[in-house]
Structure 1
């Protein structure tokens, strides 16, 4: 995985711009703390050379010297605390903004993107990768700035003590730089592999949790465990490669450089002693500064691993934020929203992958107040028509019009405020029943919520819940039955009073008794509204004004229920098949009841 560090750095730097004043304050505090820290060895050098070595120990100067040293140490501790607090506060605010930006961006992406991207991988980028970026801001940047300033200060102090020896010590810098570049090169490869395998682990885990019932039903536990174990093993190997790299190029290599530096300094002073006496204070200060020099280098080297993880993670996050395939947006200048609700498809052709057409030359019109049903075998293109009408996808050819105006001339808000969609699989949030109906739109009153629930026959079961409309549902409303979830989805749509109603197998999970009541409700809802209904059970759409029969992405038949039966075509065959299955099921149920009655008697 090749990472353009300069590009990532620029994007990360943009997030620091709103915090310029805070950065200036933190940097000023850092300079003060660094200066206080570096002056300590200078004071000790003065004490050794000016007072201890000549055995000149006047009380007042020594008290001032000791007091100055203690005050500097106290100042360093206090200022370091506040500068660290300031840097970390800025870092957390920056990563908070990045998370909000990537989360918001994902909501604007087209459904086509989610069709091709595993959910677990997205979760990994928004959580794990941003967490790694947070560690960089909190740990790496603050430490690099602090230690970078500290190293510059150390060299300034060294030059003040001995210019010639300070120049000799500069020879160490290319070796340290080369060590960091070598580590950066190899760790980029290993951390890229590590993050990719972690993303795959999340994707596999998400898939397993979502399909747990199927996994247990078909005894797929062993296969899934084997696949998960394989990815986990690859993640382990990538981690071990990185640990070996850390163990070789971080502290051990720096320690070797430190030993060479100490040998250099001692050799210099050893050679110099032949020409002139060596000041013990200067020797102490140099060794002290060398020790202080390599400790920041060690800290920076150890945080290079965090830095490299963050660069890989930031690259993955920014790749997601650079995803261009967003929801279709308004291209015209339509000021008014949907007025009547007339829907027209004109020669519409559509493909999900750009290769195989799932809809081909589709044309039909649904006038205001009419109900049109879409039927056909699985894969015939029924749901694709709904996806295009809702602007989840963009058609390749043809036109879709509402009230004789192109669909693209309406904003998404205008369109979705007036189009109500009820899907086969009702999605509920982990929230109260009331808020699942209102979706946090506060302009709906409690009376409106109850009226909508009563209208769709949901009020009775809601009232039976412990907290009624304030009952908090778990994720996806899994504690409710499929039918109850569907009724809440109906109530969510009814309360918004849309001009266009779209039902995608909306009664598939509702029992027969409730369905009969719902069908009556839907007929009442359809009055004065444009209704498009996808149905598998043909008995539910017999009263539709027009039925469109789709086959392999084309409309092959059109007409009312009676007209289509008279044609004896595809619709007739589908109806006969369902009718015979219904009679067969009824006969089986009747036979079971008779056997059960005989056993009782």
Structure 2
């Protein structure tokens, strides 16, 4: 439906231009994660739903760690066996045990991966479903003020980022903790002195990790925000491709895309370079630790305190001790990216939903069709009313036309009727019942809508007409199409009602799409029909067809028409001239023409070309 934006809108959002309490505009400057602990706790709420799989995977991790921790001990025993000349049979048994350990470790790793992949995908499935469910509950103003491409990025890219982090980091972290703990205990048991030498490099590792995490946290958040901005620009460009081509804006569009894309590249490159520097730095520190152990081990061996086998085993445990520390540092990098994505997802989850129905909400299956506005006012931003103290009444079967300058508030009036927006003050009644007391789902079923910007979904023509009533039979669909005067052109298509439509029905003309939209509204058999500029984008011949179809569907129903072409509303029972959010004039066409006021001047401009401003 066309938006009467007129003013900067932030319905219910005060305090910030275009935003309000608890609200953050999407695509703005990103920051480092604001609350990593809180975000991780919220993610845990989804993770614990799959705790059975995670616990099983962690048990396998524990057994895998036992196997991997056994390997350096067996190596140490095999070297000492050779050095002591204990015989080939003993060495053969040790080597067989070592082979079995490596095989078991590999098999357990595969099983861990399968379980974690399954658990993480289930978590992401639930999270993506929760986000989409949230989007369906958000009010109209949310979509009026948000980039659709950025919303898509949050639902896909950011959620996928969380999925990647979950599947890669959870097992890795548990494995690292167990390995570090086990390796440290075994290192101490082999040589406390060498263990002290190995610990010398820990402060360097902690310092390197802290510095990298500090720098990358902000960059990963910027990266996700810029990715959302890029998706938003692409979605906008593709949707408006015909206009772009018509005005020859290809070069300018490419330049703008390149600017956004370059910004994303620079942020991503910087984030990857800094995070990528961590592993080489940790390897240098790790090699330094090996050098310290080798020197101390050589001295102790030379003095006969420890054997060569102990040194070999200790080096193995030292590698297992330092490598997980490096992995933990890498996990923190991954975690920064995941938290950045999760925060963007939870921003959507934290948006204020439509006011829920109260326990005493009235169930209403059908309505007679009387509509009344009593002193209704509404503002997108507090203190800047868009609708001011509007009052009118219409009875069943009446056609009410709303006319006036662009941005005067015409569409806002009908949006208030179906509670797409909530009035600030006043009362809207349907059959004498306050609409705020009616279940929102029941209220919206009372309305059939034909919008200025017709949207058809990918699928067949039959599915698009039946969108308003999915259980409708083919006979009902055909009857609606005949009422809307689109049955004949549908039957001329290759597959008739089973013809597949591309997105938005781009294979059909504007008039054909409008007629299908009218058929869709007819099929829902609404008590009240809303026609928002339904003929504004079609030629005169198609307009006449649409007008005839609208006459049929308005019969016996209360109808509201928003129109700039005054020829379409001459027969309306009541015409409301909306200007600056108020009803400046009301009456029938003839009454308003006789009054020679605003409506008269608008009519004269359209048909007599007197050139007078309204």
Instruction: State TM-score, norm by structure 2.
Output: 0.90
Q: Is the 8 A contact 1:132 1:306 kept in 2?
A: no
For residue 3 of structure 2, what is the aligned residue in structure 1? none
Q: Which of 240, 246, 259 lines up with 1:217 in the alignment?
A: 246
Distance 2:65 2:186 in 1: 12
Bigger mean CA deviation after superposition, 364-373 or 516-525: 516-525
Seen in structure 2, the aligned counterparts of structure 1 residues 290 and 203 have a Cα distance that, compared at 3 Å, is same
The structure carrying a bigger helix percent of its residues is 1
Separation in structure 1 between the aligned mates of residue 42 and residue 300 of structure 2, nearest angstrom: 51
* Cα offsets for 1:23-51 (capped at 9, x unmatched): 111111111111111111211211221x2
The worse-fitting range, judged by mean Cα deviation, of 477-486 and 567-576 is: 567-576
Residues 565-576 of structure 1 aligned to structure 2 (within 5 Å) = 565-576=593-604
Structure 2 counterpart of 1:108, from 125, 137, 146: 137
Note if 1:497 corresponds to 2:533: no
CA distance in 1, matches of 2:280, 2:606: 76
Conservation of the 8 A alpha-carbon contact between 1:376 and 1:549: yes
Cα shift readout 1:5-32 (whole Å, capped 9, x = no counterpart): 1001101111111112111111111111
Residue 76 in 1 paired to residue 74 in 2? no
Deviation at residue 436 of structure 1 after TM alignment: 0.7
Q: Which residue of 2 aligns with 1:90?
A: 119
The counterpart of 1:238, out of the listed 257, 261, 267, is 267
What does residue 11 of structure 1 align with? 42
TM-score, L = length of structure 1: 0.92
Is 2:533–2:563's contact at 8 Å kept on the other side of the alignment?
yes
Look up the SS of the partner of 2:408 in the other structure: coil
Query: 1:327 — aligned with what?
Result: 354
Structure 1 equivalent of residue 343 of structure 2: 315
How far does residue 498 in structure 1 lie from its aligned partner after superposition?
Answer: 0.5
Contact 1:48 1:280 (C-alpha < 8 Å) held by counterparts:
yes
Structure 1 window deviating more from structure 2 (346-355 vs 552-561): it is 346-355
**In 2, distance between residues paired with 1:170 and 1:243?**
29
Query: 2:330, 2:222 → 1: CA distance?
Result: 20
- In structure 2, how many angstroms separate the alpha carbons of the residues matched to 1:152 and 1:210? 56
Name 1:357's counterpart in structure 2: 385
Distance 1:91 1:517 in 2: 54
Task: Give unpaired runs (5+ residues) of structure 2.
Answer: 1-30
Q: Which residue of 84, 89, 100 corresponds with 1:54?
A: 84
Q: For the residues of structure 2 that align with 1:91 and 1:244, how far apart are their CA atoms?
A: 28
Considering Cα pairs closer than 8 Å and 6+ residues apart, tell me whether 1 or 2 has the greater RCO.
Answer: 2
Indicate yes or no: 2:501 matched with 1:469: no
- Map of 1:139 onto structure 2: 168
SS in structure 2 at match of 1:443? coil
- Structure 2 residue 286 is matched with structure 1 residue 255: no
1:161-211 C-alpha deviation (Å, 9 max, x unpaired): 223432443343343233222221110111122222222222222222222
**Following TM superposition, where does structure 1 have runs of at least 4 consecutive aligned residues deviating by more than 6 angstroms?**
none
Which stretch has the larger CA shift, 68-77 or 379-388? 68-77
- Equivalent residue, structure 1, for 2:153: 124
Q: Select the residue among 211, 217, 234 that pairs with 1:182.
A: 211
1:313, CA displacement in angstroms?
Answer: 0.9
CA contact (8 A) 1:328 1:391 kept: no
Match of 1:200 among 204, 229, 249: 229
Q: How many pairs were matched up?
A: 578
1:578 and 2:606 equivalent? Answer: yes
C-alpha displacement at 1:357, in angstroms? Answer: 2.0
- Per-residue displacement from partner, 1:242-297 (whole Å, max 9, x unpaired)? 2331343x122112211221122123223324542531110001112222333333
Cα separation, 2, equivalents of 1:309 and 1:317:
13
Structure with greater Cα Rg? 1
Name the CA distance, whole Å, in 2 between partners of 1:143 and 1:343.
63
Q: CA deviation at 1:150?
A: 2.0
Alignment partner, residue 486 of structure 2:
458
- Decide whether the 8 Å contact of 1:119 with 1:206 is kept in 2: yes
2:26 paired residue number: none
Report if the CA contact (8 A) 2:370-2:431 is conserved: yes
Unmatched 5+ stretches in structure 1: 583-601
What secondary structure does 2:459 align onto? coil
Are residues 224 and 442 of structure 1, via their aligned partners in 2, closer, same or farther at CA, if it must alter by over 3 Å? closer
Pair 1:99-2:128 in alignment: yes
Q: For the structure 1 residues 208 and 297, does the alpha-carbon distance in structure 2 shift closer, same or farther, using more than 3 Å as the test?
A: same
Secondary structure at the aligned position of 2:280 is classed as helix
- Offset, 1:484: 0.6
Secondary structure, counterpart of 2:85 in structure 1: coil
Show CA shifts across 1:511-555 (max 9, x none): 433433433333332232111111222122122111111122111
By how many angstroms is 1:468 displaced? 1.2
Q: Of residues 38, 62, 74 in structure 2, which corresponds to 1:43? A: 74
Instruction: Kindly report the root-mean-square deviation, in angstroms, between the aligned alpha carbons of the 2 structures.
Output: 2.0
Answer whether contact 1:426 1:486 (CA < 8 A) is retained. Answer: yes
Match runs of 1:428-447 below 5 Å: 428-439=456-467, 441-447=469-475
How far did residue 478 of structure 1 move?
A: 0.9
- Partner of residue 18, structure 2: none
